[in-house]
Amino acid sequence: MMDQIALVTGAAQGLGLVIAQSLHAAGFKVVLTDHRLDLAEQAAAGLDAGGERVLPLQLDVMRKPDFEAALAATLDRWGQLHVLVNNAAMTKATPVMDISPEEFDAVLATNLRGTLFGCQVVGAHMARAGYGRLINMGSLAGQNGGTATGAHYACSKGAIVTLTKIFARELGPRGVTANAISPGPMDLPSVHALVPPEKLEQIVQGIPVRRLGDPHFVADLVVRLAARDAGFVNGATWDVNGGLFMR
């Protein structure tokens, strides 16, 4: 069986790095991208010192040509690309009445437009190849309006869930699935940095299971959705939120 090749955006740190690590451990070759090449290279060296199954690349998700360049570099290196994980995101907690036009545009451009560009560029390649897995990172914030993040972040993540359904319908007939994962508050450095300790404790007490989520489980879910036998899962949003949002 041909090795699966996966590209992860925002993969140099946080949840993106955990996802890249899990894919690599599951036998995938991983294209590890970040808007800063030095961070991507540093993360890649920690993942695979020999570099045989990892390719670090600079990719700014706000630039569609960066996705095209990353796809070309991946095909030049390995000849195929089977999985895209749209993980890169800008997280802000600015109160809704204080969000500036510039900050709103920056968050939407990174989170929503970046996901659009990835699905367009890589999805088109996958459709031509007749196989692919698009996995988009949503958020609980996009479902319940957010508990600790800004309105612009929540709006972008809600729209990513809708965009996932659109690509699932568009590309499904050509062997390409599109699914989203919507995590609640995760036990990650970024969450601890964003939310003051006393507010985080309040959030935890409001979660039915009374704890933060495990990013490794989310990463394992990415690996499962990226598998070849996951072809009947399409257009779904997978909730990982401890019971904060139920439907």
Q: What is the pLDDT of residues 136-145, one digit of tens each?
A: 999 999 999 9
The average pLDDT across 229-234 equals: 98
At residue 2, the pLDDT reads: 55
- Any alpha helices (H) in 26-132, and if so which ranges? 37-47, 64-78, 101-108, 114-129
At residue 67, the pLDDT reads: 98
At residue 1, the pLDDT reads: 39
Q: What stretch of H or E contains 5?
A: strand 5-8
The average pLDDT across 203-229 equals: 97
Domains of the chain: 5-239 (3.40.50.720)
181-191 burial by CB neighbour count: b if 16+ within 10 A, else e? bbbbbbebeeb
Contact at 8 Å (CB) between 12 and 32? yes
The average pLDDT across 49-59 equals: 94
CA triplet 243, 245, 247: central angle to 5 degrees? 105
Q: Which residue numbers are catalytic?
A: 153
Beta-carbon contacts of residue 113 (< 8 Å; ≥ 6 apart): 61, 62
The average pLDDT across 221-242 equals: 98
At residue 210, the pLDDT reads: 98
CA 207 – CA 185 distance, rounded (Å)? 9
Q: Is the pLDDT higher at 207 or at 194?
A: 207
CA 33 – CA 141 distance, rounded (Å)? 25
Nearest to 144 by CA among 15, 211, 242: 242
Q: Which amino acid is at 124?
A: A
CA 183 – CA 89 distance, rounded (Å)? 13
**CA atoms in the 13 A half-sphere facing the CB of 209:** 14
pLDDT of 133 > 80? The answer is yes
At residue 191, the pLDDT reads: 86
What does residue 209 show for φ and ψ, rounded to 5 degrees?
Answer: -90, 0
